[in-house]
Chains A and B, each alone.
Chain A
Amino acid sequence: MTRFRVAIHIVPRRGILDPQGKAVADALHTLGFASVGDVRVGRHLVLDTDAESAEAARDAVRRMCEQLLANPVTEDFHIATVEPA
């Protein structure tokens, strides 16, 4: 068993109105960052988990995302990194 540190991005699915993202985009435009387009505000999770391999850790975290960490109706998740903790 190895302890892995897994980083997960969860963002509102495209096509679903993200009012926080829109507010941030508007604020950035006000600051003069006119080139900013779509903004999505989501969550970033970092969790430690024991697994036989990086692949096994990734599999487990995918199931965690499907069952709890992300809402399958409205959010997409992306497992960004899986590294030994």
Chain B
Amino acid sequence: MRVGIIRFPGSNCDEDAYHAVVDHLGAEAVFCWHKDHDLQGADLVILPGGFSYGDYLRPGAIARFSPIMQEVVAHAQRGGPVLAICNGFQIACEAGLLPGALLRNAHLRFICEQVHLRVESIATRFTSRYHIGQVVRIPVAHGDGRYTADADTLERLEGEGQVVFRYVDAGGHVTEAANPNASQRNIAGIVNAAGNVLGMMPHPERAVDVRIGSADGLPLLHSLADSLLAEVGA
């Protein structure tokens, strides 16, 4: 399994993703520069967190036009998996890989803290190693994470099981207080209709070691590795 981590000017979680993939998952990872057209044979693409292009215009709005994004979109259209984290989620929405948009947190503050998420679907290649309804602890670090979509899109996401993670309290309850940015329906992560692109505001790559707070992000990486291994075996 080879992981391509996209680097934009302003990406700042690329090294975290590399550390998680190489040192904790034990897979191979390469960095893909935004000006290149080469995914270097990556099986999995990670769009990491950060502030690509300084969030000019809107978070993700400019990054979507980077040369490498043409390759990422083509990879996704071939069914290749894409893990879009934080700014990566914003870029994926701007690029049309995922529906909706991420707006300024309702309280206007940048949040950087551990949150609880409930796993809403394990029928995805990203979450097969979790249990349905499992409550996991994964950190968030963002100023623009309020997931917003029109009513039809929300109904479709819910109906098709595309809501993968929801912000909850420690007991697994969906509450307003547990929603750090006022996302609609406490949505923290979604997959596209084809199931190969996951966007999430929380950072699973920063939750890979109990010594720094949580290893609850590791099963996500292992789920992806399982799914890629199954493809090779098939």
Main SS at interface, chain A = mixed
Binds A, one of B74-82, B103-111, B112-120: B103-111
User: Is the CB–CB distance between B57 and A17 below 8 Å?
Assistant: no
**Please, which residue of chain A has its CB at the minimum distance from the CB of B64?**
A68
User: Is the CB–CB distance between A69 and B57 below 8 Å?
Assistant: yes
- Complex interface: chain B residues within 8 A of A68 (CB): 57, 61
Of residues 87 through 107 on chain B, the ones whose CB sits less than 8 Å from some CB of chain A are 93-94, 99-101, 103-107
User: Is the CB–CB distance between B148 and A74 below 8 Å?
Assistant: yes
Q: How far is the CB of A47 from chain B (nearest CB, A)?
A: 13
**Please, which residue of chain A has its CB at the minimum distance from the CB of B103?**
A74
Q: Is residue B149 contacting chain A, with contact meaning CB distance below 8 A?
A: yes
- Complex interface: chain B residues within 8 A of A74 (CB): 101, 103, 148
- Complex interface: chain A residues within 8 A of B108 (CB): 19-20, 23
Of residues 59 through 73 on chain A, the ones whose CB sits less than 8 Å from some CB of chain B are 68-69, 71, 73
- Complex interface: chain A residues within 8 A of B99 (CB): 73
Residue tally, chain B, CB below 8 Å to A: 19
Main SS at interface, chain B = loop
- Complex interface: chain B residues within 8 A of A34 (CB): none
Q: How far is the CB of A15 from chain B (nearest CB, A)?
A: 10
User: Is the CB–CB distance between A16 and B148 below 8 Å?
Assistant: yes
- Complex interface: chain A residues within 8 A of B94 (CB): 71
Bound complex: CA A71 to CA B58 (Å): 8
Mark B170-200 against chain A: 1 for CB-CB distance below 8 A, else 0. 0000000000001000000000000000000
**Please, which residue of chain A has its CB at the minimum distance from the CB of B146?**
A17
Mark A1-35 against chain B: 1 for CB-CB distance below 8 A, else 0. 00000000000100011011001000000000000
Bound complex: CA A12 to CA B148 (Å): 12
**Please, which residue of chain A has its CB at the minimum distance from the CB of B99?**
A73
Mark B24-64 against chain A: 1 for CB-CB distance below 8 A, else 0. 00000000000000000000000000000000011001000
Q: Is residue B231 contacting chain A, with contact meaning CB distance below 8 A?
A: no
Q: How far is the CB of B153 from chain A (nearest CB, A)?
A: 8
Bound complex: CA A17 to CA B58 (Å): 16
**Please, which residue of chain A has its CB at the minimum distance from the CB of B94?**
A71
Given A16-B148, A17-B182, A71–B104 Cβ distance below 8 Å?
no
- Complex interface: chain A residues within 8 A of B107 (CB): 19
Instruction: Write 6 A-B pairs (CB below 8 A) sorted by A numbering.
Output: A16-B103, A16-B148, A17-B182, A19-B107, A68-B61, A73-B149
